[in-house]
Structure 1
């Protein structure tokens, strides 16, 4: 580990939020180093406004705002969507898979600029420190990493606000509304304040950014049709568009109908339970559509085993191991399963609900002749007798053994 005075240039993962806003002056005060701010644009929209001016004013020597949106969507979001991965069955991993794509670019810029270290504003209680640092180490195992939250004297958001005021750093939020939020094209997460109390119902009007509450959604349903090719969404309502534009369109229509709002208590990697509210309007729609399409295009054995893989895939991504052999191996399996996941899914959106309204695929394994309750000419119901007899044989033998033991005990016989 380098000493403070040996670090001359630091690349900082910069968002312009409270943590990173004060990290620039803190690094300069404690390391006497040059600070280069790097913003990973993964679709956080208006949060990017004014960042260049703010970073320079607070002491950065330069700032890079890198558009990573297409790479993020195509190489991270859709890879996870194909896996059907949801952490603990609910969380659509919006923050989890944004960190590795940003960290990858941090290392690239650090090498290009000749930086001695990479810094981030993640707290010691969170998962993001792991995600950032594992990704950095995957591309440069020798890179020095600075995490101010582990060493500085500031212990709370209130301390940070006071630190910022003393240095005339503009605050990115109102002091009485300092929810901890993370936003990208895929989601918005909200933590802190009243959400720290699990017995409290959230007041969505206070913080929702992409959505309306289900109660405030329209009284009439909205229909949307999504087309997939090999598990990847390629069109909405018949109109082909890029991946990021598909998400934008579905975020809008989903948000208007109050879908994809999840109030979750999750188990962090560091061991504590935390509560957050996640907005995933477009993501919720895509996951539901993909799930429905798989239900008619995957055979039963593959579908059931993929459910197991999805759980492990979500754990790997949540725990920061995107750039790992296991994640790559899981993706290889997932991609094999997606070869026939092509077709169209129609959904009805209504007051927070996403309802199946029809699915078609040229690879459909659903056969109406076999499935019908009416008369058919392809299924001989007499065949099922032999199947049931063989399938139930182990159960029958077990029952016969129990019956024999019971009879022996009643007659006094012993084995």
Structure 2
């Protein structure tokens, strides 16, 4: 009996030719696994196509809700942004996909997992890091680090030689990854920093100048940091993400053009569209500003940067990520309420924060009198707070410290 390999399969050009390549070069039975995380693909024919390419079995797994509840919710709670800009759309999906690959490999008794990540990207580390964390006994096969296929043209020629039906052409301008949370676009003219990216590449949102001319008010409801409702209506995780995504797209929200530092050492330019994500982040940020105390909020902001790095680097299943997630969960105990936002041509403006847990009290923060705060108390506080500064200045100037 042949050994088995589980292949991360999309039905595209690269993964379609990987099936005969694995059979030729490793003499393995191929089990194709397509993970649905909300990408814009026709899932109805995936199984048939995989088997036609030579797979002995094919799984099509709907991971959309798990993707939201396992990683996207945590991203919203922490407001993670890699290098303060990238909402980690690709990086957040990879741990869920790789986990499913491991589960199916264990179920099928497969000793190998194969992925189609290139040797230049971050995803190879994300997939293999997850596999190592969940089942280090599984061996990884990464064709792009092994085979002689060097280009899209080579891949199409290989498909034709092996009678693999593909709809790809030899002209592909951009590399695109999409899911429920985002779309990323790289390659082509984007690789030249002198170029403004073309708005024609947008797949989720639109350019702000092309957005509708009327502003729109929306209200996002949260329970313990998790978004649960839109305009007072509770929706399922998938329904809510899709609905808010459409709102963001309608108003030209969520476009990021970033030159980022890849884990593998080079810089890479990417155009990211996360219209719903930007709205969720903004709403959460405003609600949290009213419900978290200063020390907790500031520590959380620092840990969020570290968290983003860990996620970007494929360490979702590390002990460190687990600990940070626990901290984030603790901070969200009182992040419950709703936030009203005004959306208009790429902009998000706060229009109301509503929560029974807000720490803001108008009677205290107002310039008027308050039972809890006396203006006269500030003098003694400032004397103590500035004492180290006074001592340092006197020491430097050689002056004697007196009462």
TM over 0.5: yes
Secondary structure at the residue paired with 2:397?
A: helix
User: Where does residue 380 of structure 1 map in the other structure?
Assistant: 374
User: Where does residue 307 of structure 1 map in the other structure?
Assistant: 301
Among 293, 298, 304, the alignment partner of 2:292 is 298
Tell me the distance in 2 between the aligned counterparts of 1:159 and 1:274.
24
User: Where does residue 285 of structure 1 map in the other structure?
Assistant: 279
User: Where does residue 332 of structure 1 map in the other structure?
Assistant: 326
1:363-385: CA deviation from partner (whole Å, max 9, x where unpaired): 00001012113455543111111
Shift of residue 138, structure 1, vs aligned partner: 1.9
TM-score with structure 2 setting the length = 0.95
User: Where does residue 62 of structure 1 map in the other structure?
Assistant: 57
Secondary structure at the residue paired with 2:239?
A: helix
What stretches of structure 1 move > 6 A for 4+ residues in a row? none
Secondary structure at the residue paired with 1:50?
A: helix
Shift of residue 391, structure 1, vs aligned partner: 0.9
User: Where does residue 269 of structure 2 map in the other structure?
Assistant: 275
User: Where does residue 154 of structure 1 map in the other structure?
Assistant: 149
User: Where does residue 12 of structure 2 map in the other structure?
Assistant: 17
On the 8 A contact 2:310/2:316 being kept in 1, the answer is yes
Shift of residue 157, structure 1, vs aligned partner: 3.0
Q: How does 1:235-274 map to 2 (within 5 A)?
A: 235-274=229-268
Among 206, 209, 218, the alignment partner of 2:203 is 209
Tell me the distance in 2 between the aligned counterparts of 1:254 and 1:107.
35
Tell me the distance in 2 between the aligned counterparts of 1:373 and 1:175.
68
Residue 341 in 1 paired to residue 347 in 2?
no
- CA spacing shift, 1:10–1:194, aligned 2, 3 Å: same
Secondary structure at the residue paired with 1:132?
A: helix
Secondary structure at the residue paired with 1:21?
A: helix
* Count of residue pairs brought into register by the alignment: 399
Residue 197 in 1 paired to residue 192 in 2?
yes
Shift of residue 172, structure 1, vs aligned partner: 4.8
Shift of residue 12, structure 1, vs aligned partner: 0.2
Tell me the distance in 2 between the aligned counterparts of 1:46 and 1:8.
30
User: Where does residue 393 of structure 1 map in the other structure?
Assistant: 387
1:72-100: CA deviation from partner (whole Å, max 9, x where unpaired): 11011101211221111111111112111
- Unpaired runs of 5+ in structure 1? 1-5, 406-415
Secondary structure at the residue paired with 1:153?
A: coil
Tell me the distance in 2 between the aligned counterparts of 1:235 and 1:316.
29
User: Where does residue 233 of structure 1 map in the other structure?
Assistant: 227
Residue 133 in 1 paired to residue 128 in 2?
yes
- Unpaired runs of 5+ in structure 2? none
Tell me the distance in 2 between the aligned counterparts of 1:177 and 1:347.
39
RMSD: 1.7
